[in-house]
């Protein structure tokens, strides 16, 4: 920088210089990570480009994808996005409700309620999600209960995630200090009012970021619902066209890309939400 422009201005302080240097270092790191991601992505594309590499006597043929198949079936697979999102949203709503009830049940001093809550969590966490989906779709009809693929899938995913997410709510509830309850009780609030007005709002706020993560996981676990064969979401569509034309490689890669992009988008919003909550004034 020309020294003339500095004239008349106080030279930057030592602290300012150190701070600027630190910012530059952080920016540089982020830039390098970004560039590396780009390179990794290009390598990935190259590996599936069908090009031939020749280095002296070394010869390598990269993977050739059937681009005609991809173009032809892109929209068919893409149409599964709606179902994938629908199942995920419905399931997360069921899961949140169950998780909240289970977490509150865990606080109960009434033994049967406490028992129901812990029994539910134990049973669901002790069995595979894949089994649970089949159970609701294939085992219940034997008892005369016929659920559609979507209903069976949402029930299983909701029950399953509800059991896991109850731990998140429990952590949220225990993050609210004893002093908060005491202050509410000292004002004369009933236990119900204390829970509703004082404890829950603070606990939910604590639980929102991990719940976002659970939702992102759920969009991917919703692929398991395709096993019923009656829910036409991303995975089901990829498997269907892939098997029919023996293009499983292309079909699964396409579905994978849809899931990945969906996850990236949701993760972005999740980050925004978390930053907003971290501000702390509301």
**Secondary structure class of 108 (helix, strand, coil):** coil
Residue 277 CB neighbours (<10 A): 14
In the 8-state DSSP scheme, what is residue 228?
A: G
Please calculate the CA angle 208-224-149 and round it to the nearest 5 degrees: 100
**Length of the chain in terms of residues written:** 282
Nearer to another protein, 174 or 217 (CB): 174
Least distance from another protein to the Cβ atom of residue 174, Å: 16
Cβ at position 182, least distance to another protein in Å: 5
CB nearer another protein, residue 54 or residue 178: 178
Q: In this complex, which beta carbon is closest to another protein, that of residue 33 or of residue 187?
A: 187
Instruction: Please say whether the dihedral angle defined by the alpha carbons of residues 252, 253, 255 and 259, taken in this order, is positive or negative.
Output: positive
Q: How far is the CB of 104 from another protein (least distance, A)?
A: 19
| Distances in whole angstroms, Cα of residue 131 to Cα of each of 36, 126, 139, 145, 226 | 40, 11, 10, 17, 13
Report the nearest approach of another protein to the CB of residue 274 (Å). 17
Query: Please, which residue, 8 or 179, has the CB nearer to another protein?
Result: 179
Minimal distance, residue 103 CB to another protein, in Å: 18
Name the minimum Å distance from CB 177 to another protein.
8
Which phi and psi (to 5°) does residue 229 adopt? 80, 0
Least CB distance to another protein at residue 189 (A): 6
Asked if 221 contacts 212 with a C-beta cutoff of 8 angstroms, the reply is: no
Instruction: Specify the residue, 207 or 216, whose C-beta has the smaller distance to another protein.
Output: 207
Instruction: Please report, as ranges, the residues that interact with another protein according to CB under 8 A.
Output: 177, 179-180, 182-190, 193, 197-198, 201-202, 205, 280-282
- Looking at the Cβ atoms of 198 and 235, the one nearer to another protein is 198
Q: Where are the alpha helices (DSSP H) in 126-224?
A: 129-134, 149-175, 178-186, 191-193, 200-221
Element (H, E) at 45: helix 14-47
Q: How far is the CB of 190 from another protein (least distance, A)?
A: 8
H or E segment to which residue 55 belongs: strand 52-55
Which one, of 202, 194, 201, lies nearest residue 176 by Cα? 202
Q: For residue 150, what are its two tokens?
A: 């979507």
**Whose Cβ is closer to another protein: residue 146's or residue 190's?**
190
Nearer to another protein, 64 or 180 (CB): 180
Closest among 43, 230, 56 to 138, alpha carbons compared? 230
């Amino acid at each position: 920088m020309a020294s003339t422009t500095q004239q008349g201005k106080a030279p930057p302080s030592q602290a300012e210089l150190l701070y600027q240097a630190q910012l530059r270092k952080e920016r540089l790191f982020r830039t390098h990570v970004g560039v590396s991601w780009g390179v990794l992505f290009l390598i990935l594309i190259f590996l599936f480009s069908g090009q031939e590499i020749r280095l002296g006597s070394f010869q390598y043929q990269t993977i050739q994808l059937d681009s005609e198949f991809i173009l032809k079936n892109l929209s068919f697979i893409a149409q599964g996005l709606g179902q994938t999102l629908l199942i995920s949203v419905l399931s997360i709503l069921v899961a949140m409700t169950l998780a909240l009830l289970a977490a509150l049940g865990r606080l109960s001093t009434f033994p049967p309620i406490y028992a129901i809550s812990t029994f539910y969590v134990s049973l669901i966490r002790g069995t595979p999600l894949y089994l649970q989906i089949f159970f609701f779709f294939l085992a219940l009809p034997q008892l005369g209960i016929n659920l559609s693929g979507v209903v069976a899938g949402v029930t299983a995913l909701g029950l399953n995630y509800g059991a896991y997410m109850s731990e998140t709510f429990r952590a949220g509830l225990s993050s609210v200090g004893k002093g908060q309850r005491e202050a509410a009780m000292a004002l004369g609030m009933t236990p119900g009012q204390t829970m509703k007005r004082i404890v829950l709002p603070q606990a939910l706020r604590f639980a929102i970021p991990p719940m976002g993560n659970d939702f992102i996981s759920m969009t991917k676990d919703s692929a398991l619902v395709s096993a019923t064969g009656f829910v036409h979401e991303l995975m089901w569509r990829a498997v269907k066209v892939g098997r029919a034309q023996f293009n499983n490689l292309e079909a699964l890669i396409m579905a994978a890309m849809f899931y990945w992009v969906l996850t990236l988008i949701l993760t972005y919003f999740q980050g925004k939400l978390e930053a907003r909550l971290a501000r702390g004034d509301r």
